[in-house]
Amino acid sequence: MAAIIEIPTKVLTNSSGQQRIPVIGMGSAPDFTCKKDTRDAIIEAIKQGYRHFDTAAAYGSEQALGEALKEALDLGLVSREELFVTSKLWVTENHPHLVVPALQKSLKTLQLEYLDLYLIHWPLSSTPGKFPFPIAVEDLLPFDVKGVWESMEECLKLGLTKAIGVSNFSVKKLQNLLSVANILPAVNQVEMNLAWQQKELREFCSANGIVLTAFSPLRKGGSRGANEVMENDMLKEIAEAHGKSIAQVSLRWLYEQGVTFAAKSYDKERMNQNLQIFDWALTKEDLEKMDQIKQNRLIPGPTKPQLNDLFDDQA
């Protein structure tokens, strides 16, 4: 077996302890694969060195991930302390009184006593119990950010999670949250890739001690035509010059920007490829060219019709 790759970590300065989040995480959404595929992929990922596993109540992957983690723990492949498990609060439970029960339910499904990170999945609240996706705007309710965040802080105090954070929050939405928070969010998980570089949001997060985790780092999660990253001729040239794949060049770029990311591959070779980004570097010329890539968002948000003010100033 190939040597396990040691993935660097970043300290979550805004959480209560000294938690460290691995720079590379393994995604699990959307989980339409059979449970055995998920289980096999997670076990393989642990063998290769992955320690951060990203899931959410909405993904349908908590159960299979939990079973795989339990098996890995029982086999002694890894200890609970070495793992970093993230899950997320879905919009139907984004109400102050539903936060703690939602996290308790996720923990039960995952067969875990605590999470390492719990995130508000979207800055939106919808009618409890109604689960259509995309969410109909008629089902949206006012988002009580202060009340929900107090409940997130309660989750931390109860020891149900080691750190709390948010996902899909723009600068403006983070500013609102920071104005009411007693404990600052440790992480903001958002779309970030070479075709959606999030410069303003990154600066804001960095200035406020919030670690940014990039989702859809290869821009493959959406369902639409050309992939502006994986089918980009300029990136292909850069990749060939380094003897790497476009995926590796894209992930290395994220690493060099100082963010963490969750990429998803359930394929043994590709998940290994995505770890091989630490012993080489992009050149200044590469970075200048990458800066010129046309920017647009891949993930438009979970509502139908789409909400113009959901991301407000995220760019």
Active site residues: 59
3-state secondary structure of 117: strand
Q: Which is nearer to ligand NAP, 54 or 228 (CB)?
A: 54
Q: How many C-beta atoms surround the C-beta of residue 27 within 10 A?
A: 24
Phi, psi of 232 (to 5 degrees): -95, 120
Q: Shortest Cβ distance from residue 244 to ligand NAP (Å)?
A: 10
Q: Which is nearer to ligand NAP, 156 or 249 (CB)?
A: 249
Amino acid at 268: K
Q: Measuring CA to CA, which residue among 104, 98, 105 is closest to residue 150?
A: 98
Q: Shortest Cβ distance from residue 245 to ligand NAP (Å)?
A: 6
The neighbouring-strand residues paired with 304 are 136
Two tokens, residue 241: 């010059």
The neighbouring-strand residues paired with 260 are 213
DSSP letter at 156 equals H
Say whether 121 counts as a known binding-site residue. yes
Q: Shortest Cβ distance from residue 201 to ligand NAP (Å)?
A: 14
Q: Which is nearer to ligand NAP, 257 or 273 (CB)?
A: 273
Q: Which is nearer to ligand NAP, 95 or 219 (CB)?
A: 219
Alpha-carbon distances, residue 308 vs 34, 90, 96, 193, 311 (angstroms): 35, 20, 25, 21, 7
Q: Shortest Cβ distance from residue 76 to ligand NAP (Å)?
A: 26
Q: Shortest Cβ distance from residue 49 to ligand NAP (Å)?
A: 15
Closest-approach residue to ligand NAP (CB): 221
Binding interface with ligand NAP (CB under 6 A):
27-29, 54, 121, 167-168, 189, 215-221, 245, 247, 262-267, 270, 273-274, 299
Q: Which is nearer to ligand NAP, 97 or 299 (CB)?
A: 299
Distance CA 145, CA 194 (A): 30
By the 8 A CB rule, do 260 and 36 touch? no
Two tokens, residue 218: 């290869």
Number of H helices, E strands in the chain: 10, 14
Two tokens, residue 203: 């600066």
Residues making up the annotated binding site for substrate are: 121
Residues making up the annotated binding site are: 121
